[in-house]
Structure 1
Amino acid sequence: MGFRPPGGQTDGRNRKDGQKGRTGRMEAHPLIAGRRTREGFRDRLGYAATLLSVAVILVAVAAIYLFVFSRGLATFFVNHVNVLDFLFGTEWRPTLTEAEGGPKFGVLPFIVGSFIVTFFSALIAGPIGIGAAIFMTEIAPSWGRKLMQPVIEILVGIPSVVYGFTGLTLIVPFLREHAGGLGFGLLAGILVLAVMILPTVTSISVDALSAVPPEIKAGSYALGATRWQTIWRILMRASAPGFVTAVIFGMARAFGEALAVQMVIGNGKNMPTSLLEPASTITTVITMNMGNTVAGSVENNVLWSLALLLLLMSTVFIFAVRWVGRRGRLMSR
């Protein structure tokens, strides 16, 4: 009989062999390990790319704000133009010499003109856009929405110069013939802007109506409400924050529009007293005069101050949209 080691030694060797076997089985295959390494690299690369994208956006926005603020504030800190005279003055005479009491950079007529065309264009486009959205989502058959959606998208894609040229060809002669005056004025700018912001208001209103939970509408019908009662008392109230957001976005676009308004508004420099008189907005003054000034001159810096006003108003519109959205979420709870 051969020698056999004690049972304890045999069990110890078996356990060691088993551990080695299990350890060997736990080690990943080289192909799998390589694939995991590549996937990890791709994950890190994707994270870095998205982080870089965010950084580029933040840097671009910060650069725009810093540049516009630095150029816009130079009017008051370098050229020593009085802030109150700038904001509330009614005379725009940049070429007036000091001996003649100038130059004068009162921009109140342009601020008033900007708010007038913005407010009245939103007043026209708001109800029409919301009504069109209600028709598309609640009343029209499926083919109606399929027909309306491309029309809205076409209106969004039309260049500003086409709107302006159309207004110059159709609206200005119509107003000249039926309302009197030259046809150029605030009313022409209002009508052109109303058409321009209409697709924006309509699209956002459609999204607001589509976001209403279907259970709310079904519950209204279950209680015996008619279609119009459901639309008026349920859907419109539930979508009210979205409608306000749509109108604010439309106003933001109207406030910043330049070319189309410039072609029909008449570019008058006096305080507007009638919708039929030629007037100007902040954007039209900038586009009309920026190319005729020397960089660093007081005239150029004043135009940058107007650009700063536009930037601040755009910021106000953005915060207004966020505030309305936050209020809407709180009300929905």
Structure 2
Amino acid sequence: MDSIKEKIQSKSKETRQEVTGKILSYSAIILIVAVVISIFAFVASKGIATFTQNHASLKDFFLTTDWSPTAVGKDGRPLVGALPMILGSFGVTLLAVLFATPFAIGTALYMTQIASKRGHRLLQIVIELLVGIPSVVYGFIGLSVVVPFVRTHFGGSGYGILSGSFVLFVMVLPTVTSMTEDSLRAVPSYYKSASLALGATEWQTIYKVILRAALPGILTAVVFGMARAFGEALAVQMVIGNATLMPKGLLSASSTLTSVLTMGIGNTVMGTVGNNALWSLALVLLLMSLIFNLLIKWIGRRGRF
């Protein structure tokens, strides 16, 4: 005990380095927290202005379909119905994750349970390459390949939620696959050994034991994939059609929160109704990111119990 007190009270080089390291660490943490709070405060102040300064109705914003911020309705309020964009964002996100999850789980199972070291390395390289491809490249591929494919085989103009889902499916696949692989590898090896020793086949062990033990991690991977898809802008914007109308189906041109934001934010003046309405869409995106993170934390806590 005395030696610890002497170390604290001493002015040795090691003690000074320890104190300096703590100061730098805490300063970095405070800076990160301040930046996050500042971003939330800035976006919230701009997004709320639509309802406090321009007197838009919160109910109309979430439940109506007329998006024309520069126009005024019969009640004298701006037409800022964001329901088509909200539904479009959820539509492409859920459909993309629905497509990606079976492929991601199958690939992760192959990499962890079946593949040889060479096969694992090959698939790992492919996944890393998919992660590194820029969004604009995915958008161009979607415009050149996916849109004509959908137009030929499903009908319509080719632009719509289905095309956006196909593009996002490829974009979120490496994220979900990598996290699912980590979850499967985290399952203790004696689970598999005990199951095989009790007479279960390898596929029964994978389905009944390994997948169930890794389920919280797999669900976390799926939510991460949803968060990745929900916030994607450029690639979706190039293939979805960008029509601020209620989607009538998977093949009709639609829009998402991010596509409307990227197309309109450069054409508005700060402080105007149109600009404030776009900031309101950004606030919805920010809140959705927070909800996704809270959901991930909740899944993690449930998995530990």
Does structure 1 residue 138 correspond to structure 2 residue 144?
no
Does structure 1 residue 113 correspond to structure 2 residue 88?
yes
Match of 1:277 in 2: 252
- Kindly indicate whether the alpha-carbon contact (under 8 Å) linking 1:94 and 1:299 is maintained by their aligned counterparts in 2: yes
Match of 2:272 in 1: 297
Map Cα deviations across residues 199-226 of structure 1 (whole Å, 9 max, x no partner): 0000000000000011111111111211
Match of 1:95 in 2: 70
Does structure 1 residue 244 correspond to structure 2 residue 219?
yes
Match of 2:209 in 1: 234
Please give the alpha-carbon distance, in whole angstroms, between the structure 1 residues aligned to 2:67 and 2:290: 26
TM-score by length of 2: 0.94
- Secondary structure of the equivalent of 1:96? strand
- Secondary structure of the equivalent of 1:264? coil
Match of 1:217 in 2: 192
Residue 101 of structure 1: CA displacement? 6.8
Does structure 1 residue 62 correspond to structure 2 residue 49?
no
- Higher Rg of the two aligned structures: 1
Alignment of 1:150-189 (within 5 A): 150-189=125-164
Please give the alpha-carbon distance, in whole angstroms, between the structure 2 residues aligned to 1:212 and 1:36: 47
Residue 99 of structure 1: CA displacement? 8.5
Please give the alpha-carbon distance, in whole angstroms, between the structure 1 residues aligned to 2:154 and 2:207: 36
Please give the alpha-carbon distance, in whole angstroms, between the structure 2 residues aligned to 1:328 and 1:96: 49
- Kindly indicate whether the alpha-carbon contact (under 8 Å) linking 2:54 and 2:77 is maintained by their aligned counterparts in 1: no
The aligned amino acid for 2:148 is P
- RMSD between aligned residues: 1.5
Among residues 306, 327, 331, which one is paired with 2:302 in the alignment? 327
TM-score by length of 1: 0.86
Residue 100 of structure 1: CA displacement? 11
Match of 2:230 in 1: 255
Match of 1:287 in 2: 262
Does structure 1 residue 267 correspond to structure 2 residue 267?
no
Map Cα deviations across residues 205-258 of structure 1 (whole Å, 9 max, x no partner): 000000001111111111121110110000000000011000000000101100
- Kindly indicate whether the alpha-carbon contact (under 8 Å) linking 2:66 and 2:82 is maintained by their aligned counterparts in 1: yes
Please give the alpha-carbon distance, in whole angstroms, between the structure 2 residues aligned to 1:257 and 1:240: 26
- Secondary structure of the equivalent of 1:265? coil
Among residues 27, 48, 57, which one is paired with 2:23 in the alignment? 48
Map Cα deviations across residues 160-195 of structure 1 (whole Å, 9 max, x no partner): 111111100100111112222111111100000011
Gaps (5+ residues) in structure 1? 1-34
- Kindly indicate whether the alpha-carbon contact (under 8 Å) linking 2:70 and 2:273 is maintained by their aligned counterparts in 1: no
Residue 103 of structure 1: CA displacement? 3.9
- Kindly indicate whether the alpha-carbon contact (under 8 Å) linking 1:95 and 1:102 is maintained by their aligned counterparts in 2: no
The aligned amino acid for 1:262 is Q
Map Cα deviations across residues 257-312 of structure 1 (whole Å, 9 max, x no partner): 00000000000111001111100001101111000000011110111011000011
- Kindly indicate whether the alpha-carbon contact (under 8 Å) linking 2:73 and 2:79 is maintained by their aligned counterparts in 1: no
Please give the alpha-carbon distance, in whole angstroms, between the structure 2 residues aligned to 1:324 and 1:97: 44
Identity over aligned pairs, percent: 54
Residue 94 of structure 1: CA displacement? 2.5
- Kindly indicate whether the alpha-carbon contact (under 8 Å) linking 1:184 and 1:276 is maintained by their aligned counterparts in 2: yes
The aligned amino acid for 1:147 is L
